[in-house]
Amino acid sequence: MPGWNRRDALCLLGAAAWPIPTWAEEPWAAKKPAEWNEKELQHILSDSPWAKPVSVTVGSTMPSGGGGGRGRGGRGGGGGATPTADAGGAPTESGGGGRGVTNDGPVAAPSVIYTVRWMSALPMKMALVYSKMGAEAATSPQAKAFLEKEDQFYVINVSGPPRKNEAATERPRQLTPRVEAEIKEATSLSWKAHDKLQPLVVQVSQTNSFAFSFSFPRTHLIELEDKEVEFATKLGELSIKRKFKLKDMMFEGKLAL
């Protein structure tokens, strides 16, 4: 497992889209990590106390006959460049003009499923390693080093469907300083009786998949008594919020964040 790091995890999770099964007993409580099967690994990584799906409506419904839209035979309205988001939610800049108005009536805005994952949590790291390496993870020195490395940050990952009209590539991508600063300012972890934490580091997936990683300093420890913590971010037009219940995030007798 040479070179395994959080950027590998970002790419892996951004490309993944798994069905969510129904479970009688949660695998992280009933089994040892080496015993998790493929479906259980997918369950942990996609719908568990550390991974929560969020349904987001992209854009807004436009009324019939509204101006500025690009309908049949129509042209977009004028205006300067404004921050927006593509169908995958990626921050972009676009010219003026509205979206999808026809003469037939309102156009419903699409709903997109994103997943918010607490990537610095030990069960998530274990599920990532075992999903990539299988049984080899139990004896791999690289896996052992990755799992035992003490995290200096709370790491939250947001992933969704691939970016619209882009082929899957491995080409390098990075945020501009301005966009990165805006994302940091609009992103936070918050919990009762504490100031909001903002990320020190923002990373973006290096493939066409929509995936962002946010690293928050552990300057204020989150404790079980805090009951719940909320992650929030705004990426262009895309706003995502998700609460995590801390009592559900216990793993092997400890709060796993």
Q: Is residue 50 part of a domain?
A: yes
Which residue range is the domain that position 76 belongs to?
Answer: 59-109
**pLDDT reported for residue 151:** 87
| Domain-located, residue 38 | yes
Q: Are strands 201-204 and 153-160 parallel, antiparallel or unpaired?
A: unpaired
| Distant-in-sequence, close-in-space partners of 49: CB < 8 Å, separation ≥ 6 | 244, 245, 248, 249
Same domain membership, residue 227 and residue 128: yes
Residue 242 lies in a domain: yes
Cross-strand bridge partners of residue 107: 62
Q: What per-residue confidence (pLDDT) applies to 73?
A: 41
Q: Are 148 and 218 part of one and the same domain?
A: yes
Cα torsion for 40, 251, 125, 131, to the nearest 10°? Answer: -20
CB atoms within 10 A of CB 254: 10
Residue 1 lies in a domain: no
Q: What is the pLDDT of residue 232?
A: 98
pLDDT at residue number 164:
63
- Residues 241, 132 within the same domain: yes
Shared domain for 147 and 83, answered yes or no, is no
Give the pLDDT confidence score for residue 143 in this predicted structure: 92
Let me know if residue 32 belongs to a domain.
Answer: yes
Same-domain pairing of 134 and 162? yes
| Whether residues 216 and 163 fall in one domain | yes
Is 122 inside any structural domain?
yes
Structure tokens at 92: 């972009």
Are 152 and 79 in the same domain?
Answer: no
What is the DSSP code (8-state) at residue 160? Answer: E
- Report whether 124 contacts 10 (CB < 8 A): no
Q: Give the chain's domain count.
A: 2
Amino acid 19: pLDDT: 46
What confidence score (pLDDT) does residue 95 get? 42
d(CA 242, CA 199) in angstroms, rounded, equals: 16
For residue 141, being part of any structural domain is answered with yes
Per-residue pLDDT of the chain in tens (257 residues, 90 and over written 9): 444 455 555 545 544 444 444 445 799 999 999 999 999 999 999 999 999 999 988 764 433 333 344 433 433 443 333 333 443 455 544 444 444 444 555 666 778 899 999 999 999 999 999 999 998 988 999 999 999 988 899 999 999 887 665 554 444 567 899 999 999 999 999 998 888 999 999 999 877 678 999 999 998 899 999 999 999 999 888 899 999 999 999 999 999 99
Q: What integer pLDDT is reported at residue 33 of this predicted model?
A: 92
| DSSP single-letter state for residue 65 | T
Strands (E), 162-208: 188-191, 201-204
- In a shared domain, residues 128 and 251: yes
Residues 120 and 164 in one domain: yes
Are both 47 and 75 inside the same structural domain?
no
Same domain assignment for residues 195 and 99 = no
For residues 254, 46, 188, 81, the Cα torsion angle rounded to the nearest 10 degrees is: 170
What pLDDT, on the 0 to 100 scale, is given for residue 25?
Answer: 78
247 within domain boundaries? yes
Largest Cα separation within the chain, whole Å, is: 64
Same-domain check for residues 19 and 123: yes
